[in-house]
Amino acid sequence: NAGVMQNPRHLVRRRGQEARLRCSPVKGHSHVYWYRQLPEEGLKFMVYLQKENIIDESGMPKERFSAEFPKEGPSILRIQQVVRGDSAAYFCASSPGRTETQYFGPGTRLLVL
């Protein structure tokens, strides 16, 4: 059974460029969560999606950040016009139900130059 997959594992962008992070949940899981981790800190919740719907985006910055989880294909976290402060590890998790255990992917490490 494949776990949560994220790609790319490492992403380097210059300031002002766009970053697209992809997450394929565990097969059969329809709930996806995105978290961000700054160096030496715990993970911070960003957004929770359930197939085609954003359920909770309370942790996601209002500008430049967006997320989607289409009917077909992976979930995408998109960061427009990246700044150095966006440099972090971004983790995706999935679960089969809203209150069930979340399983995390290996993360995408974004470095903004």
Partner 1 sequence: DAKTTQPNSMESNEEEPVHLPCNHSTISGTDYIHWYRQLPSQGPEYVIHGLTSNVNNRMASLAIAEDRKSSTLILHRATLRDAAVYYCILRPRSTTSGTYKYIFGTGTRLKVLA
Which residues are paired to 90 by β-bridges? 36, 108
CB 60 to partner 1: min, Å: 11
DSSP 107: -
The nearer residue to partner 1, 14 or 62, going by C-beta atoms, is 62
CB 81 to partner 1: min, Å: 26
Q: If binding is defined by CB under 8 A, does position 24 make contact with partner 1?
A: no
Q: If binding is defined by CB under 8 A, does position 35 make contact with partner 1?
A: yes
- Which runs of E-coded beta strand occur in 1-113? 5-7, 10-13, 19-24, 31-37, 43-50, 53-56, 65-68, 75-79, 88-95, 103-104, 108-112
Q: Give the strand order in the sheet containing 75-79.
A: 5-7, 19-24, 75-79, 65-68
**Under rule CB under 8 A, which residues in 93-112 are in contact with partner 1?**
93, 98-99, 101-107
Piece of the chain touching partner 1 by CB under 8 A; list 14-22, 65-73, 75-83, 90-98: 90-98
The residues that touch partner 1, with contacts defined as CB under 8 A, are 4, 33, 35, 41-45, 48, 56, 59, 91, 93, 98-99, 101-107
